[in-house]
Chain A
Amino acid sequence: MSTPNAGSSTAGGTAPATREPAGTGGAYRTTALVLALIVIAALAYGLVQTALKASALFTG
């Protein structure tokens, strides 16, 4: 995980330089990965179900 670059010459102004970035460590990455898997699985479920329904246009 990177650290805030408070002293960076590219940091624009006081407020951005003094702010602590939010945590993005192991727990965060695990949560993000789990969410990505849920989203992909849900989309796959919806697409397969709809494709099956749509196939009735050619078979039904």
Chain B
Amino acid sequence: MPSILDREAIVAPRQFNRWLIPAAALAIHLCIGQVYAFSVFKIPMMGHFDTGEVAVGWIFSVAIAMLGLAAAFGGTWVERSGPRKSMVVAGTFWVTGFLVASLGIATGQLWLVYLGYGVVGGIGLGIGYISPVSTLMKWFPDRPGLATGLAIMGFGGGALIASPLSNSLMALFGGGTDPANLEAGLLQTFLTLAAVYAVVISLGAIVIRVPHPDWTPTGWDPSTAAAKPLQTTANVSADSAIRTPQFWLLWIVLFCNVTAGIGILENAAPMIQDYFDWITPAAAAGFVGLLSLANMAGRFVWSATSDSWGRKNNYMMYLGVGLALYLVIALMGGANVVVFILATMVILSFYGGGFSTIPAYLKDLFGVFQVGAIHGRLLTAWSAAGIAGPLIVNSVIEAQADSGLTGAGLYSLSLYIMVGLLAIGFLANLLVRPVHPKHHVPEGRDREKEYVQ
């Protein structure tokens, strides 16, 4: 008899409104997307632990590194276990991470925050990120780009929610908005967020369903998918996928696209002030907010358009137009603030679109059978870009500053490096061809494995 957490326990009836499912997927992504708002805790934690920015910054870095590792190593388990069990496990890790970090805050032990939020929470991030994605694609086989865009938009949205919410909670519990008050409200804020995330993720796990094996969307003919270039109706296992050139070409594509986006994100506030010396710190913070909106909108809009344009064409746009826009910023970004803002917003929308379109691209090439596990392994490109991007940008800026450059001149070289990276990504995407049939899973085995455990 299956447990209530198993895939078999959440098979929907043949008549089911699939639009109930995106809220369940968004629930977990909105919660774990909090990680991108971690910077709001930086100053309060620096005061609380009496330590520097680097020591606190490591908490976020450990969490993102664990995200990549957990997604890569846990992907096959997630695919086998189904979305409810993986959402519950991810939620348990994520909430436990907050509780262990709370213990660290209460006892003044920073290593407990590394262990809790970084390691334990980071495992929750990795499993939670991939857990609803393949399920959504199974519910929306006619619009997989829209489906993944909906879920992964939530990850961007999570930061938009958690950032103001955390500030408000710290101010509420600490009795004011001064740094000392925010520091005093740190512990209660972590505990409150843990409780909220536990409830929302649990609701998501209750609502999530997998489609009945005989269910198809009304009016959708699976044979039309085969007529589109690069879209397969066959399936490739996760172990076979990583032996194909297509997997590694997409790894390069994702790595280049993410690194280029980080090139702007990492230094957005100082960058606009260096390009235009009349921009105030408050206006620069507003610019960061605008980029966050572009990042989130791009996740949904571009991924949804990829259902019509084709995944390969979308990445041509992300990488090709992105390259041109980086050149515009490098060559004439300082001349006009409107051009600078528009160009950076479009680049950030491509950054978000790159994240949300990749699962649908993987589904096109490798089929839906183990797409979650393949997606998990591909996310190591994100971890690598998360290290390489800031390293490249920050070391180049430092070197330029040491050589006496100021203003926009600080960024030119790193912008040209990003242009080169985007060109490599563009070529990699150009080389993507359908997967050789020798990698396909024999017909019947994929269906058997998915529904009969």
Pick from A21, A38, A55: contact of B14, CB under 8 Å: A21
Known contacts A2-B15, A5-B14, A56-B282; A31/B203 CB under 8 A? yes
- Is A46's CB under 8 angstroms from B160's CB? yes
Enumerate chain A residues within 8 angstroms of B14, measured Cβ to Cβ. Answer: 2, 4-5, 21
Apart from A19-B11, A22-B10, A43-B30, list 11 A-B contacts with CB within 8 A. Answer: A2-B15, A13-B447, A15-B452, A16-B212, A22-B11, A31-B207, A35-B200, A39-B30, A53-B285, A57-B284, A57-B286
Pick from B9, B27, B289, B451: contact of A22, CB under 8 Å: B9
- Is A57's CB under 8 angstroms from B157's CB? no
A38–B293 Cα distance when bound, in Å, is 20
A32–B204 Cα distance when bound, in Å, is 8
Enumerate chain B residues within 8 angstroms of A3, measured Cβ to Cβ. Answer: 13
- Is B283's CB under 8 angstroms from A47's CB? no
- Is A57's CB under 8 angstroms from B290's CB? yes
Q: Which residue of A lies closest to B452 (CB)?
A: A15
A54–B250 Cα distance when bound, in Å, is 33
Enumerate chain A residues within 8 angstroms of B293, measured Cβ to Cβ. Answer: 47, 50-51, 54
Does chain A have a CB within 8 A of B8? Answer: yes
Q: Contact flags (1/0) for B10-45 with A, using CB distance below 8 Å?
A: 111111100010011011001000000000000000
Enumerate chain A residues within 8 angstroms of B452, measured Cβ to Cβ. Answer: 15
A12–B293 Cα distance when bound, in Å, is 45
Q: Please give the distance in Å from B294's CB to the nearest CB on chain A.
A: 10
Does chain A have a CB within 8 A of B312? Answer: no
CB proximity to B under 8 Å, residues A29-60:
29, 31-32, 34-36, 38-39, 42-43, 45-47, 49-51, 53-60
- Is A53's CB under 8 angstroms from B11's CB? no
- For the complex, would chain A's binding face be called helix, strand, loop or mixed by DSSP majority? helix
- Is B161's CB under 8 angstroms from A42's CB? yes
Enumerate chain A residues within 8 angstroms of B203, measured Cβ to Cβ. Answer: 31, 34-35, 38
- Is A47's CB under 8 angstroms from B206's CB? no
Known contacts A5-B214, A39-B27, A46-B161; A54/B13 CB under 8 A? no
Does chain A have a CB within 8 A of B47? Answer: no
Q: Which residue of A lies closest to B287 (CB)?
A: A57
Known contacts A8-B214, A49-B160; A57/B207 CB under 8 A? no
Q: Which residue of B lies closest to A38 (CB)?
A: B200
- Is B289's CB under 8 angstroms from A35's CB? no
Q: Contact flags (1/0) for A7-30 with B, using CB distance below 8 Å?
A: 010111101100101101000110
Q: Please give the distance in Å from A4's CB to the nearest CB on chain B.
A: 7
- Is B15's CB under 8 angstroms from A51's CB? no
Q: Give the 4 A-B residue pairs with the shortest CB-CB distance, closest first.
A: A57-B286, A56-B286, A46-B160, A60-B282
Does chain A have a CB within 8 A of B175? Answer: no
Q: Please give the distance in Å from A48's CB to the nearest CB on chain B.
A: 9
CB proximity to A under 8 Å, residues B204-243:
204, 206-207, 209, 212-214
Pick from A5, A19, A42, A55: contact of B30, CB under 8 Å: A42
